[in-house]
């Protein structure tokens, strides 16, 4: 299994779900968390290869979460891409200083997002299929999605699975 | 979280004061003093002429000094900000030192130690008096207590040494104190300005978040549908979704523009009125519009004499007005028609130029002439994407002309053509100065004119100032004026022959001194301003107000400034900030309604399966698109309303309103967008009195409350109930949910505009942002009140009570 796992920490469940569908369609495994606290919890359990982090989270903000992660040896090396609606003029510098690899301004275009992920995870991280997979493939991916991950998915994500 | 970074970037003190900067850190200084005392006592007691003092008192002193040093090191930072604590420490130190000197009683080295002690005490002393008192006490101790050396110290050379050391420590204390006072003053000033910057950043940050989150979700789900990730689509569906996607892209760009415009203080979209030549602007506009006119076979003539006085306005904006009017005229003028652009000094008000764009088109009906400049977007909440032709540009024209302080109107004969006229103020230095330097009928007491000019490098030719440098200097100057005084900032001319900047600000001598210092520091610290030797010189002049009649003194002042500002200047009145924000927001919101309606309308058609069947996943994705588009509409109205509230331009337009109809409309809005786990329940009596209120505002209140309830409720229901209270003649609207609820402590804070919260407190409120603030403010505006009931974990209810001046009963 050399599929990479991406943890999405985002409080807007619809955005998290949208990201998750998009990333899965491009051959990544995903896990979701809706606040900083559960973000760290899920990250320690799932060992993601990359974290997509929103700055405005309901409990702590993204900066605090980054700081907390830095102190945990198992998580300190996981690369972080910040995706936020907050203006980059104000936050970009601080985000990079805090250790994020990239700063993406919402709404981020799919191509830009995937390119950023590829850049951070390295050129060989992607599976061979570059194009969008067919529905069948999508379903198959979800079948191998571990039960553990599914439990962590928000209701929205589960609905998609049901709908497929 | 921007705090530490923002503050760090502000730190740019010149190096000669660097040596004093250590004085600012109280904790470090205090620890230093304690260790010094401990070591000094150890020295005094252990090495008295080679002997070691064995008395228990000596050990006690030593132990106390060491203990205090260790304790101080472990205390939290906050303790050192308490003056009582530092004073107590100083007294203890002084007693310890005196006692040690007394016990030592032989060495003359103590004098030197006393001197150093004085210096260190100055570092933690609260004021100069404390320094003097401490030094004096020590001096006395050293001279009179130590018996064996007394003889030596009372000899002239001994006395001289004592008083020299004593004096030096006082002098040092004095200097240190001066620096500290100055620093404190500066800190207050910088803090105010930072607060202003931060407030602006925070406002933007929230607005940005509230607009960008929904557009993100919309984009994601539309692309998920288009890429077939939710299931296959037929060609019609595909085509419609592509239209939606194009409009989403347009929305995204507009949001980016809007946020940039709101953010820009001196940036590209800023409104910068200056001295401008209308004839030049007119010929530039002609160049860009001629092609369209020729293509349509319309003759376009321009009659703007070059000897007309200059106008005071933003050239880009004036061009925008002219372009809009001419393009509008071209659109409504048939082939072989004629359009003329004319300008003259307004015969009604000689302070204005009147500009007219006359066409030989179809003309406008008399009713039309009244409504033509109206804000169309407020009338069309419903889906109506057929709004082309009239209006889009004219509303913006009106706003822009108003921004310049002019008027705009139209004269028209149906069938014969119409003439759009507007006025722009003629450039006059005294008029621009007037609001800045007067206070009611009087001149302000303190007016300072600060000049920033170029110093040529030694011997060589003067260095060149680039546009980027000018911009940077302007930015620095704008940043260095006090937030609550208005300022005028003339700068360089278009042709670049003047590199002198003037800042007129209402400051007294001290304030001007401080400001000049600050400007100097900022200029020196700026990376964009790497200028050669000599560089830039900052100076100021106090413009004194003669104690005479207002008109005369005003003239004197204008003369004073005018002599200094030679040639034709670009003038920037930076206080136009508020108006600027408002116009941009208005302008953008105006344009943004069209793509929003397209997204909403087309998604609705797809969702209603008018173009083909959908699978449940696709249905859900479309539901999400629609829901987030509704969020975005409300977010936009909120931003607009918040701007109006901030600018105090919010007005209530009361009309008779059938509340039942409004509720029905809301029901339609929310009806199709609900997911399966959440029910919206509408609960109202069959009859309600007709209210007299502002329907637009009431709708926004409702939508905010409902959106808020939906956002914080995962499962269960949101109930919107309406009741008429006959006793108090009021209508009670209650929006209750079964969501996460609000903690009791948080309730008082939720209606505050987010910027009143501390940065660390913002996060729990992220989702609330502008919405509830708007609800509260609008409810109060409509004469009602709003209350909250909540139980954490069980849900919350917002109750809005509005007076129902029942006109007639339904």
Residues of A with a Cβ under 8 Å from any B Cβ are 11-12, 14-15, 18-19, 21-22, 25, 56-61, 63, 84-87, 89-91, 93-94, 97, 105-110, 132, 135, 138, 155, 159-160, 162-164
pLDDT at B517: 81
Inter-chain residue contact A91 with B205, CB threshold 8 Å:
yes
Cis before B582? omega within 30: no
Q: Do A163 and B217 count as a contact with CB atoms less than 8 A apart? A: no
Which pLDDT belongs to residue A140?
A: 37
* pTM higher than the cut 0.90: no
Helix (H) or strand (E) holding B732: strand B730-737
The radius of gyration of chain A's CA atoms, rounded to the nearest angstrom, is 15
**Residue B216's pLDDT band (boundaries 50, 70, 90)?**
very high
Q: What is the mean pLDDT of residues B751-777?
A: 54
> Which residues in chain A are closer than 8 Å to B223, comparing Cβ atoms?
22, 110
* Residue in A22, A58, A164 nearest the CB of B220: A22
Residue among B683, B676, B742, B732 nearest B709 (CA): B742
Q: In the prediction, which pLDDT does B30 show? A: 74
Give residue A147's pLDDT: 36
Min CA distance, A13 vs chain B (Å)?
Answer: 9
With bands split at pLDDT 50, 70 and 90, how would you rate the model's confidence at B1? very low
Nearest by CB to residue B204, choosing from A19, A84, A87, is: A87
Closest by Cβ to A94, choosing from B2, B618, B628: B2
pLDDT of residue A8: 94
**Cβ pair B767:A61 closer than 8 A:** no
**Highest mean pLDDT: which of B209-223, B489-503, B729-743?**
B209-223
The whole-number average pLDDT for the span B726-752 is 78
* Whether A86 and B205 lie within 8 Å, measured CB to CB: yes
Burial A131-155 (b: 16+ CB within 10 A, else e): eebebeebeebeeebeeebeebbbe
DSSP string, B412-439: EETTTEEEEEEEEEBP-HHHHHHHHHEE
| pLDDT top residue among B241 and B750 | B241
Chain A residue at shortest CA distance from B624 = A14
Asked if B211 and A85 come within 8 Å (Cβ–Cβ), the reply is: yes
Q: Which of A19, A106, A109, A156 to mutate to test the interface with B (most CBs of B within 10 A)?
A: A106
Q: Please list every residue in chain B whose beta carbon sits closer than 8 Å to the beta carbon of residue A66.
A: none
State yes or no: pLDDT of B338 exceeds 50. Answer: yes
Q: Comparing B384 with B193, which gets the higher pLDDT?
A: B193
* Per-chain mean pLDDT for chain B: 71
What per-residue confidence (pLDDT) applies to B104?
67
Tens digit of each residue's pLDDT (9 = 90 or more) over B558-583? 555 555 443 333 333 333 333 444 45
Nearest CB to B216 within list A15, A21, A91: A15
What is the structure's pLDDT at B333?
Answer: 84
More confident residue, B715 or B430: B715
Give the distance from residue B204's alpha carbon to the nearest chain A alpha carbon, in angstroms.
7
| Spans of chain A, pLDDT less than 50 | 124-164
Contact status, residue B492 vs residue B501, Cβ threshold 8 Å: yes
Q: Select the more confidently predicted residue: B492 or B700.
A: B700
Q: Are B482 and B511 in contact (CB under 8 A)?
A: yes
pLDDT value, residue B630: 84
Query: Tens digit of pLDDT for each residue in B675-687?
Result: 556 788 888 888 8
Q: Which two tokens stand for residue B607?
A: 């969702």
> What dihedral angle (degrees, nearest 10) is formed by the CA atoms of B249, B255, B257, B259?
-160
Vertex B13, ends B9 and B18: CA angle to 5°? 125
- Three-class HEC string of chain A: CCCCEEEEECCCHHHHHHHHHHHHHCCCEEEEECCHHHHHHHHHHHCCCEEEECCCCCCCCHHHHHHHHHHCCCCCCCCEEEEECCCHHHHHHHHHHCCCCEEEECCCCHHHHHHHHHHHHCHHHCCCCCCCCCHHHHHHHHHHCCHHHHHHCCHHHHHHHHHC
Cα–Cα distance list, B495 to B491, B498, B652 (Å): 12, 8, 47
H helix or E strand, kind and range, residue B734: strand B730-737
Phi, psi angles (nearest 5°) of residue B512: -65, -45
The answer to whether the CB atoms of B615 and A59 lie below 8 A apart is: no
Higher pLDDT, B631 or B218: B218
Distance (Å, whole) CA B356 – CA B408: 10
pLDDT tens column, B229-252: 888 999 989 988 988 898 888 788
What confidence score (pLDDT) does residue B201 get? 63
- Contact yes or no for A87 and B615 at CB 8 A: no
Chain B residues interacting with chain A (CB cutoff of 8 angstroms): 1-2, 5, 201, 204-205, 208-213, 215-221, 223-224, 227-232, 252, 259, 263, 615-618, 620, 624, 627-628, 675, 677, 714, 763-764, 766-767
Identify the top-confidence range among B45-54, B202-211, B471-480, B718-727. B718-727
Residue A135 Cα, gap to closest chain B Cα (Å): 7
Residue B731, pLDDT > 70, answer yes
Q: pLDDT band at B764, cuts 50/70/90?
A: very low
Interface test with A, best of B204, B209, B740, B743 (most A CBs within 10 A): B209
pLDDT (tens digit per residue) in B522-571: 888 777 777 665 577 777 767 655 444 445 555 565 555 555 443 333 33
Q: Let me know: does B488 contact B433? Beta carbons within 8 Å.
A: yes
Residues A149 and A161: their CA atoms lie apart, in Å, by 13
CB contact (8 A) between residue A15 and residue B227:
no
Q: Which whole number is the average pLDDT over B114-123?
A: 63
Using a CB-CB cut-off of 8 Å, the residues of chain B touching A19 are: 220
Residue B230, token pair as written in the block:
């939710």
Number of neighbours of residue B569 by Cβ within 10 angstroms: 22
Give the pLDDT confidence score for residue A135 in this predicted structure: 36
Q: Select the residue of B252, B677, B763 nearest A155 (Cβ to Cβ).
A: B677
Instruction: Convert the pLDDT of each residue in B132-171 to its tens digit.
Output: 676 666 666 666 555 555 565 566 656 666 666 667 666 7
β-bridge partners, B420:
B357, B410
Whether B369 has a pLDDT exceeding 60, the answer reads yes
DSSP calls for B736-766: EE-SS---GGGGGGTTS-GGGS-HHHHGGGT
Residues of B in contact with A105 (CB under 8 A): 212
Cα atoms in the 13 Å half-sphere on the side-chain side of B177: 18
The answer to whether B650 and B644 are in contact (CB under 8 A) is: yes
Highest mean pLDDT among A21-25, B634-638, B710-714, B740-744: A21-25
C-beta atoms of B5 and A61 within 8 A:
no
Average pLDDT of the segment spanning B94-103: 74
Highest mean pLDDT among B40-44, B76-80, B798-802: B798-802
Average pLDDT over residues B24-35: 70
Chain A: residue whose CA lies nearest to B200: A90
Question: How much of chain B exceeds pLDDT 70, in percent?
Answer: 57
């Amino acid at each position: 299994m050399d599929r990479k796992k991406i943890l999405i920490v985002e409080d807007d469940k619809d955005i998290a779900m949208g990201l998750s569908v998009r990333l899965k369609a491009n051959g990544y495994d995903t896990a979701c968390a809706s606040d900083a606290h559960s973000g760290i919890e899920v990250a320690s359990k799932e060992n993601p290869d990359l974290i997509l982090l929103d700055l405005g989270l309901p409990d702590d903000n993204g900066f605090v979460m980054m700081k907390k992660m830095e102190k945990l040896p198992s998580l300190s090396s996981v690369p972080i891409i910040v995706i936020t609606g907050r203006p980059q003029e104000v936050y970009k510098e601080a985000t990079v200083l805090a250790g994020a690899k990239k700063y993406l301004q919402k709404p981020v275009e799919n191509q830009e997002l995937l390119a950023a992920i590829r850049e951070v995870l390295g050129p060989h991280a992607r599976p061979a299929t570059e194009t969008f997979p067919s529905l069948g493939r999508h379903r198959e991916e979800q079948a191998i999605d571990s039960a553990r991950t599914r439990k962590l998915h928000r209701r929205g994500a589960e609905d998609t699975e049901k709908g497929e | 979280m921007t705090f530490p970074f923002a503050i760090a970037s502000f730190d740019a003190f010149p190096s000669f004061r660097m040596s004093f900067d250590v004085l600012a850190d109280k904790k470090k200084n205090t620890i230093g003093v304690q260790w010094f005392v401990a070591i000094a006592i150890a020295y005094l007691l252990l090495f008295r002429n080679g002997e070691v003092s064995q008395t228990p008192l000596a050990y006690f002193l030593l132990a106390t000094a060491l203990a205090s040093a260790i304790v101080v090191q472990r205390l939290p930072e906050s303790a050192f900000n308490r003056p009582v604590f530092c004073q107590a420490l100083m007294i203890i130190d002084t007693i310890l030192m005196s006692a040690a000197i007394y016990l030592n009683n032989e060495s003359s080295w103590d004098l030197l130690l006393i001197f150093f002690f004085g210096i260190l005490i100055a570092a933690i002393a609260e004021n100069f008096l404390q320094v003097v008192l401490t030094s004096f006490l020590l001096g006395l101790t050293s001279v009179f207590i130590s018996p064996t050396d007394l003889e030596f110290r009372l000899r002239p050379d001994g006395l001289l040494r004592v008083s020299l050391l004593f004096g030096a420590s006082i002098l040092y204390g004095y200097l240190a104190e001066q620096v500290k006072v100055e620093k404190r003053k500066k800190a207050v000033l910088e803090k105010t300005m930072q607060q202003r910057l931060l407030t602006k950043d925070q406002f933007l940050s929230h607005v940005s978040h509230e607009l960008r989150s929904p557009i993100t979700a919309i984009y994601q789900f539309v692309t998920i549908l288009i890429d077939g990730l939710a299931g296959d689509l037929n060609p019609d569906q595909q085509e419609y979704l592509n239209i939606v996607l194009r409009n989403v892209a347009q929305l995204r760009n507009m949001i980016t523009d809007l946020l940039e415009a709101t953010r820009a203080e001196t940036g590209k979209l800023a409104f910068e009125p200056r001295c401008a030549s209308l004839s030049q602007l007119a010929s530039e506009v002609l160049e860009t519009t001629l092609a369209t006119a020729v293509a349509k076979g319309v003759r376009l003539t321009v009659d703007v004499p070059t000897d007309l006085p200059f106008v005071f306005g933003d050239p880009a904006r004036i061009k925008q007005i002219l372009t809009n009017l001419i393009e509008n005229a071209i659109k409504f003028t048939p082939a072989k028609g004629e359009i003329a652009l004319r300008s003259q000094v307004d015969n009604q008000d000689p302070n204005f130029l009147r500009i007219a764009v006359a066409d030989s088109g179809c003309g406008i009906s008399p009713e039309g002439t009244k409504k033509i400049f109206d804000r169309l977007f407020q009338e069309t909440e419903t889906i109506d994407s057929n709004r082309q032709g009239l209006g889009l540009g004219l509303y913006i024209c009106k706003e822009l002309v108003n921004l310049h302080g002019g008027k705009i109107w139209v004269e028209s004969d149906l069938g014969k053509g119409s003439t759009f006229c507007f006025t722009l103020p003629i450039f006059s230095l005294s008029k621009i100065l007037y609001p800045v330097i007067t206070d009611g009928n009087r001149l302000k007491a303190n007016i300072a004119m600060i000049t920033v000019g170029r110093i040529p490098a030694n011997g060589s030719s003067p260095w060149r100032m680039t546009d980027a440098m000018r911009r940077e200097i302007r930015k620095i100057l704008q940043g260095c004026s006090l937030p609550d005084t208005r300022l005028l900032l003339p700068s360089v001319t278009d042709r670049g022959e003047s590199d002198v900047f003037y800042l007129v600000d209402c400051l007294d001598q001290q304030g001007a001194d401080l400001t000049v210092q600050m400007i100097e520091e900022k200029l020196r610290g700026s990376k964009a301003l790497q200028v050669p030797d000599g560089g830039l010189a900052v100076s100021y002049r106090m413009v004194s107000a003669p104690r005479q009649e207002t008109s005369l003194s005003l003239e004197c002042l204008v003369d004073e400034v005018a002599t200094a500002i030679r040639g034709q200047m670009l003038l920037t009145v930076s206080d136009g900030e508020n108006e600027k924000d408002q116009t941009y927001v208005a302008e953008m919101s105006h344009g943004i309604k069209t793509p929003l309606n397209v997204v909403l309308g087309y998604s609705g058609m797809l969702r209603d399966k008018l173009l083909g069947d959908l699978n449940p996943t696709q249905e859900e994705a479309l539901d999400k698109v629609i829901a987030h588009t509704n969020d975005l509409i409300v977010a936009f109205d909120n931003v607009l309303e918040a701007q109006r509230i901030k600018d105090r331009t919010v007005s209530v337009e009361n009309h008779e309103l059938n509340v039942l109809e409004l509720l029905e409309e809301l029901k339609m809005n929310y009806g199709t967008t609900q997911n399966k786990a959440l029910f919206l329940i509408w609960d109202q009596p069959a009859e309600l009195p007709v209210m007299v209120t502002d329907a637009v505002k009431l709708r926004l209140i409702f939508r905010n409350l409902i959106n808020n309830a939906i956002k914080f409720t995962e499962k269960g229901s949101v109930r919107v109930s309406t009741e008429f209270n006959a006793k108090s003649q009021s209508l009670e609207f209650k929006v209750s949910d079964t969501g996460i609820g609000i903690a009791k402590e948080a309730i008082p804070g939720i209606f505050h505009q987010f910027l009143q919260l501390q940065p660390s407190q913002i996060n729990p409120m992220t989702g609330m942002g502008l919405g509830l603030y708007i609800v509260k403010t609008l409810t109060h505006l409509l004469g009602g009140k709003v209350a909250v009931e909540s139980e954490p974990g069980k849900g919350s209810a917002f109750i809005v009570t509005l007076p129902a001046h029942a006109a007639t009963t339904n």
